[in-house]
Structure 1
């Protein structure tokens, strides 16, 4: 891959302290000692601390700050940068040294086809994401610190078990529910940290042929390439948000499927889930679980229908359009979570969350519970149901339009190919934000 244009590029390793942090082989292990220690303390606190989720260190660390704030915001801004810090990744790298070092089983060929598209082993991340998220909110794990402890202890056991059998960070690449999310959300990020050229150091995971660090796509930030080739510059690339979804080197249907699942479990399920008891009067948790499943099935079915209509009308290849056009729905999915949960949550309770977290690690804080005034919160609530969705729609339409330009020979054909998706995106967004009235 050629070097990026200089006007969109900043060489981070021109700064000596940053160069040391990125290329010294002892820095990341030291960071991992810290993150794994906090991770272990959070699990211990979930069991032994107060069983109020608002005051329990483990509950706040895992769900108040880690996933909903640190993870989601960092993914949108800087792509897969979290892999550098991830305690699970550190556990994987340590335990696989003592394992059987077997290759992770693959499935390829004409038999691995669903909905008329070829899928690979990467699709497992979509399944693990679905099953990992479901107990959090549908079975009440997030509301019980002790259940949170069992949840992450079980997850750690799975991580260790997989790593003791398979090599090359197989858990991080194919099983971790966050890795698939990071692979697709990284395409929206306006920044990418990457080495400026091929290093000649074979990727430790053998995931792809390119030999350079990147916070885009499926690099797990093992830092092998930077530590073995410390003289190779690492740069910060600035790009149009979403351009990576348009200019995909190797478009994967697996990742497109995960985009639709994110659309299902973030905005769609939040609407259906809020009315699960009325729609499915079976009592909790069955009504919530069924609503969750219906959301996934409805989202996939709606997308397949829109794609079928678009390919029939425009004669665009079915699998190519399935793979590329899914990203039209990604901006709203992520912005919905940010606008309706993450940002207002930090505004209303961010101070309290930070107080609990830092007190848990021995640093007393006394911040006010809310980090914003009531008027600011009210203004944001108005923005989140007016301007925010409009930006998401325009962002998604721009991505799908430029993607269609790659697949078609004329603007007219491109319009025909994406028109059903644009209609579905606009109508579903209007339904989700309540423009059609309350759901009964």
Structure 2
């Protein structure tokens, strides 16, 4: 075990450290990082909320709607892949939390309930917000989107008044689970240098110092082995007295290969996200009304809310059931423990496909509606531009979507191979087949004509 740790330490030392570049290190250590990005994000956020609540009710003409759902939401998973949770460092909610705590915060410890069940609450909020979008038309309604952001803002303020650090971000933010899972596939990591950290007596990366707060996400760099809860806020870089911190590029998905403490809630969310991608695609298809009719004949009602909820639950249960069946087929003993261990371990392998499906779905909005962001931005200054909002044809977008899904499938298959310790093809075949099947379902859905929601 000690030799493995030494080998890992040597590999980490050999990686490029972006903090070895003086300009980058000086910038991250300065008060300008991440502050300059935070204040820009705060200004844009304020404008977005105002436009959503007080601007035009036409979603295709509203600056807030197009900026949030046509630009930000499609780009955010790409940010998680390339830069890890950097968005969380500059997020307006995070900055608002810092300001509230600075002036009126009581800094109470996080409640034990939130510590224990926070990630499950995040999973639940993510599911509920996605469900509510279709029930109340949040995406299509500027007012609905604005009120959602105001509700989240209220939650941020409330938790920041009573609890320490970024309790909301850590235990309640609906984007937190998505950010954590996708960042595990990310191409950037922040870690400490083991040989230096083990001799440190200050623990300032966690505790902070007189100038800079400790890690807002309650992370201790010395023991941190995942990017799921690292916001790249730079606090540890500012406070570390031993020059131990490194920020290094890495191979995408590499963190997924050796999760030391796999958790059910992460594997569950990975499966649920795949189901949500399914339902987001299905509701934009021409055959959606036919599907509702079929469900209605089974439920005995034509109530949209009821029938959509049934479709929503089925879509989420489908990948969960498929993963559970595969876990059972590959369990050496058909005991509940063995099956659940397989479910949790290999659930992480779905994450690259989740990421690909999420990006591919939102690519349709960004490419076929993207110019609306520019049109609605210049309209704030009294300039009226009109025209085709698309950058490319739907056919071009489809081929791009196919490529993304195939890339995600390759990432998931290779992750299965590495999680399975490079086991024999026959032993891991059910998981390979699962990833191919999930990719095939995505490709089929993307091959069908889609309509715009905004």
Counterpart in the other structure of 1:278: 293
Counterpart in the other structure of 1:145: 142
Equivalent residues in 2 for 1:21-100, closer than 5 Å: 21-69=27-75, 71-97=76-102, 98-100=104-106
Counterpart in the other structure of 1:253: 264
Counterpart in the other structure of 2:331: 311
8 A contact 2:406–2:439 mirrored in 1: no
Taking structure 2 as the reference length, the TM-score comes to: 0.80
Size of the alignment, in residue pairs? 417
Counterpart in the other structure of 1:336: 357
8 A contact 1:96–1:169 mirrored in 2: no
What is the SS of the residue equivalent to 1:185?
helix
d(CA) in 2 for partners of 1:368, 1:212: 54
8 A contact 1:358–1:364 mirrored in 2: yes
Structure 1 residues 121 and 49: alpha-carbon distance in aligned structure 2, compared to 1, 3 A threshold = closer
Equivalent residues in 2 for 1:234-383, closer than 5 Å: 235-267=246-278, 270-271=281-282, 274=285, 275=288, 276-281=291-296, 282-312=302-332, 317-342=338-363, 344-357=364-377, 360=380, 369=388, 372-374=391-393, 378-383=395-400
Match of 2:410 among 370, 387, 394: 394
What is the SS of the residue equivalent to 1:192?
strand
Structure 1 residues 322 and 209: alpha-carbon distance in aligned structure 2, compared to 1, 3 A threshold = farther
d(CA) in 2 for partners of 1:10, 1:88: 29
Structure 1 residues 331 and 189: alpha-carbon distance in aligned structure 2, compared to 1, 3 A threshold = same
d(CA) in 2 for partners of 1:215, 1:34: 28
d(CA) in 2 for partners of 1:148, 1:423: 39
Taking structure 1 as the reference length, the TM-score comes to: 0.82
Q: Which runs of 5+ in 2 are unaligned?
A: 1-7, 207-214, 297-301, 449-454
Pairwise CA RMSD of aligned residues? 3.5
Q: How far apart are 1:139 and its partner, in Å?
A: 2.3
- Could you tell which deviates more after superposition, 165-174 or 199-208? 199-208
d(CA) in 2 for partners of 1:191, 1:202: 19
d(CA) in 2 for partners of 1:312, 1:228: 48
What is the SS of the residue equivalent to 1:2?
helix
Q: How far apart are 1:141 and its partner, in Å?
A: 0.7
What is the SS of the residue equivalent to 1:337?
helix
d(CA) in 1 for partners of 2:167, 2:248: 28
Equivalent residues in 2 for 1:164-243, closer than 5 Å: 164-193=161-190, 198=197, 200-203=203-206, 204-205=215-216, 207-211=218-222, 216-229=227-240, 232=243, 235-243=246-254
**CA displacement 1:205-262 (0-9 Å, x = unmatched):** 4734325999921023443212223873765423221111112243322212211111
d(CA) in 1 for partners of 2:98, 2:55: 30
Counterpart in the other structure of 1:161: 158
**CA displacement 1:6-53 (0-9 Å, x = unmatched):** 65414345232x333311134333432322222122111111111111
d(CA) in 2 for partners of 1:421, 1:76: 23
What is the SS of the residue equivalent to 1:141?
coil
Q: How far apart are 1:90 and its partner, in Å?
A: 1.0
d(CA) in 1 for partners of 2:31, 2:334: 52
What is the SS of the residue equivalent to 1:53?
coil
Q: How far apart are 1:3 and its partner, in Å?
A: 6.2
- Could you tell which deviates more after superposition, 76-85 or 264-273? 264-273
Q: How far apart are 1:323 and its partner, in Å?
A: 2.3
d(CA) in 1 for partners of 2:404, 2:319: 21
What is the SS of the residue equivalent to 1:216?
coil
Structure 1 residues 313 and 425: alpha-carbon distance in aligned structure 2, compared to 1, 3 A threshold = farther
**CA displacement 1:407-436 (0-9 Å, x = unmatched):** xxxx34x843x333333332333234339x
Structure 1 residues 14 and 184: alpha-carbon distance in aligned structure 2, compared to 1, 3 A threshold = same
Q: How far apart are 1:131 and its partner, in Å?
A: 1.2
Q: How far apart are 1:135 and its partner, in Å?
A: 1.8
Structure 1 residues 371 and 190: alpha-carbon distance in aligned structure 2, compared to 1, 3 A threshold = farther
Counterpart in the other structure of 1:434: 444
8 A contact 2:29–2:237 mirrored in 1: yes
